[in-house]
């Protein structure tokens, strides 16, 4: 672990200090941590060896345990009751109540809403003084942590969508090459043809996907729009009702009706894949290690196929921020920043233990990362992952898009009307 960095807060800006505040040195500094990733206290109690972790929750909790167990005079206490779906409303409530956490996890697409309202501490100078090499971060990670030219976060990963493939099933249908690798479609027509060939040969579902629970359809929609050279935002407004958006939604609905089951959500589609009943599952980096352990068939995680010519895939970033406190406490500020630098140093543990993409070039190039399960199979995703626009209101706009898209394959809403309504609703949120 790196040595104490001695950073204090003076009014509203972080400034370098010559020594750690006395309260931190006395060992009586407790800071609060707001995060999602689940609760796993029953499996991590007293565990400080991150190699024992088997999930996102266990990795971050064991890392926290290890930090608390070190002789650093700081205790990190996790705030309770913050599940993924409720996290941001609850985080907003802490600001309204005047009692925000000292450190919080945040997705890249929420950063503009909080930083734009002055609720987060800018970290440029403090991180540089702490020895954090921001230049080692990949371009997407640097962009995710920056708002209006200032750094507000420590990126922990880039997570993205992948294709999770049952090689045994594809082999039955003749859809693997001589080396046993899946033959990836290179166009929308090839994808649908492979689906037909597979289902004719096996009578088994080709494509699995969360069609309505967590907005996964919107992620694939964005990927398909990007692959056509389009975008969902032109710098001032949402632009989804476009030829590229129309084609992306057409393909999604054709997949839903001919190759998949739109009644399946996240849990059902995942279980179908793990049971060996689905050939290809569209899910994220966060399940790679779980699937590597649990699948009883020949399993490969790989980049999403490039169907329209431009290699691209939806991505996002988990990041760590320091909320601005109504009453600044230099000791807590120093302790919080020390925890942030510990998390920065722990990025290799997180990337290797979760399946997420390392957001730092040195990690991606490391032998330990490369040798982790499946990583070489989707290494290309680190280069093609794209993040949503860093603009205020995008989180609400994204929810509106997901709802409108879902309505086309769940309730049969007219696709043209859904895109028109999505664009209008998104721009209401952005404005």
* Same-domain pairing of 24 and 122: yes
* Same-domain pairing of 122 and 257: no
Q: Say what the pTM is.
A: 0.91
* Same-domain pairing of 15 and 133: yes
Q: Is 195 helix (H, G, I), strand (E, B) or coil?
A: helix
* Same-domain pairing of 127 and 171: no
* Same-domain pairing of 295 and 341: no
Please tell me the least confidently modeled range out of 12-21, 286-295, 350-359.
12-21
Residues 6+ apart with CB under 8 A from 148: 115, 116
Cα(119)–Cα(325) distance, integer angstroms: 8
CATH number at residue 269: 3.40.190.10
Tokens in use for 404?
């409108």
Count of positions (residues) in the chain: 431
Residues 6+ apart with CB under 8 A from 352: 368, 369, 372
Is residue 138 in a domain? yes
Cα(206)–Cα(197) distance, integer angstroms: 10
Mean pLDDT, rounded, of the chain: 92
Closest CA to 354 of 284, 294, 295, 302: 284
The predicted-structure confidence for 138-197, as pLDDT tens digits, reads as follows 999 999 999 999 999 999 999 999 999 999 999 999 999 999 999 999 999 999 999 999
Determine which helix (DSSP H) or strand (DSSP E) holds 145, and give its type and residue range.
helix 139-145
* Same-domain pairing of 87 and 119: yes
Cα(297)–Cα(369) distance, integer angstroms: 24
Q: What is the CA radius of gyration of the chain?
A: 22
pLDDT on residue 135: 94
| Domain around 73 | 7-158+317-345
Give Dmax (Cα) for the chain. 72
* Same-domain pairing of 72 and 54: yes
* Same-domain pairing of 17 and 154: yes
Closest CA to 125 of 394, 337, 369, 367: 337
Counting the structural domains of the chain, the total is: 2
Does residue 25 have a pLDDT over 80?
no
Is residue 1 a contact partner of residue 345, using CB atoms and an 8 Å limit? yes
């Amino acid at each position: 672990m790196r040595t104490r960095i001695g950073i204090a807060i003076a009014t509203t800006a972080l400034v370098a200090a010559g020594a750690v505040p006395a309260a931190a040195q006395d060992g009586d500094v407790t800071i609060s941590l707001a995060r999602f990733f689940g609760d796993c206290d029953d499996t991590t109690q007293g565990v400080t060896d991150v190699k024992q972790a088997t999930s996102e929750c266990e990795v971050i909790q064991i890392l926290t345990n290890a930090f608390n167990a070190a002789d650093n005079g700081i205790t990190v206490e996790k705030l309770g009751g913050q599940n993924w779906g409720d996290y941001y409303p609850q985080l907003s409530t802490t600001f309204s109540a005047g009692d925000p956490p000292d450190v919080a996890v945040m997705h890249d697409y929420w950063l503009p809403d909080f930083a734009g309202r002055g609720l987060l501490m800018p970290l440029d100078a403090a991180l540089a003084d702490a020895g954090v090499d921001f230049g080692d971060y990949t371009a997407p990670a640097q962009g995710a942590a920056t708002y209006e030219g200032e750094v507000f976060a420590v990126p922990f990963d880039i997570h993205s969508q992948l294709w999770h493939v049952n090689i045994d099933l594809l082999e039955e249908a003749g859809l693997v090459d001589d080396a046993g690798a899946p033959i990836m479609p290179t166009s929308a027509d090839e994808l649908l043809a492979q689906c037909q060939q597979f289902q004719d040969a096996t009578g088994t579902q080709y494509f699995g996907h969360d069609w309505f629970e967590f907005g996964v359809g919107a992620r694939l929609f964005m990927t398909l729009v990007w692959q056509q050279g389009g975008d969902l935002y032109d710098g001032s407004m949402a632009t989804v009702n476009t030829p590229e958006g129309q084609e992306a939604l057409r393909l999604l609905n054709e997949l839903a009706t001919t190759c998949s089951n739109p009644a399946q959500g996240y849990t059902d589609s995942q279980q179908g894949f793990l049971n060996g009943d689905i050939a290809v599952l569209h899910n994220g980096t966060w399940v790679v290690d779980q699937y590597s352990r649990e699948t009883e068939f020949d399993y490969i995680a790989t980049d999403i196929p490039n169907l329209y010519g431009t290699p691209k895939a939806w991505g996002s970033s988990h990041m760590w921020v320091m909320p601005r406190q109504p009453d600044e406490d230099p000791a807590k500020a120093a302790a919080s920043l020390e925890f942030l630098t510990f998390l920065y140093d722990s990025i290799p543990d997180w990337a290797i233990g979760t399946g997420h993409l390392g957001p730092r070039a040195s990690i991606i190039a490391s032998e330990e990362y490369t040798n982790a399960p499946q990583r070489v199979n989707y290494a290309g995703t680190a280069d093609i992952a794209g993040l949503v626009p860093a603009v205020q209101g995008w989180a609400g706009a994204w929810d509106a898009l997901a709802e409108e898209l879902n309505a086309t394959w769940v309730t049969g809403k007219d696709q043209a009307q859904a895109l028109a309504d999505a664009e209008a609703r998104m721009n209401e949120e952005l404005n």
